[in-house]
Structure 1
Amino acid sequence: MTSFSSPNVVVERPADDIVVVRASGEVDMITAPALESRVVTLVGEKPRLLVIDLTEVRFFSSAGLAVLALAHREADEGTQLRVVANDAAVLRPLELTGLTEDLSILPSLTAAIAG
């Protein structure tokens, strides 16, 4: 497994065709660019599965929502995008904006990888 990390973003590759991006802490206008940069780069690599794990996120702003919307738009048919979220800090903004209708939201990383 290879990994990359910045203050609040860690990238793991549990398999050749699976990429997991884990964000932690606050995803706001200050920290979202690091998440966006990694997600855009990884979507461009066209993995079979890209999982964005937000289970360690305490605050999720509109900047974070924009990153998820961008990932959804940019992922092609060969890449499955799944989001892991199980806390109201992330789920509530996703529900209010309707992104839960467009994104595959799962409660755990295990569930996201299993499909």
Structure 2
Amino acid sequence: MVMSDEWRNRPRTRVVGRTVVVELRGEIDMLTAPGISDHLDSLTTDQEPDVVIDLQQVEFIDCSGLSVLCRARRRIQERDGRLALVVTDPAITRTMRFAGLLGVFDVVDSDPTVPREV
């Protein structure tokens, strides 16, 4: 059975305490961005949303994907919430830097909801 791109790129969401973790994967582009945007909109309707968007398995992001992240950030800020992006891929980091967005987001290198071993 072959999975469609829509199914393969469907966000996985889990809740850890008050934090909603959205795991994205594959390509975030003009084909997948609308569905991801709708999903993130549904998670940012309440006051003080606490959201982590995990981009560790994202292979590519274009301006449509960056726009989705900016929209989520704006919605979360308007509701006095918090947003963190988990970014480990140097290509994603470089894309964000070129777009002038690296300093705009709280970017971390691992999921803050997962305890680190000492």
TM-score, length-scaled by structure 1 = 0.83
Q: Quote the Cα distance in structure 2 between the aligned partners of 1:94 and 1:113.
A: 24
Q: Quote the Cα distance in structure 2 between the aligned partners of 1:84 and 1:22.
A: 9
1:10 to 2, 9, 12: 12
- Show CA shifts across 1:51-89 (max 9, x none): 010000011111110011111111135310111101023
Structure 1 or 2: more strand by fraction: 1
Q: Quote the Cα distance in structure 1 between the aligned partners of 2:37 and 2:80.
A: 20
1:79 to 59, 71, 81: 81
Identity across matched positions, percent: 30
Give the aligned length: 107
Q: Quote the Cα distance in structure 1 between the aligned partners of 2:90 and 2:36.
A: 20
On the 8 A contact 1:22/1:53 being kept in 2, the answer is: yes
1:109 to 103, 108, 111: 111
Structure 1 or 2: more helix by fraction: 1
Q: Quote the Cα distance in structure 1 between the aligned partners of 2:84 and 2:114.
A: 8
> What CA RMSD, in Å, does the superposition of the two structures yield over aligned residues?
1.9
Residue 99 of structure 1 pairs with residue 88 of structure 2 = no
Query: Which protein has the larger Cα radius of gyration, Structure 1 or Structure 2?
Result: 2
Residue 70 of structure 1 pairs with residue 71 of structure 2 = yes
On the 8 A contact 1:82/1:103 being kept in 2, the answer is: yes
Structure 2, unmatched stretches of 5+, are 1-6
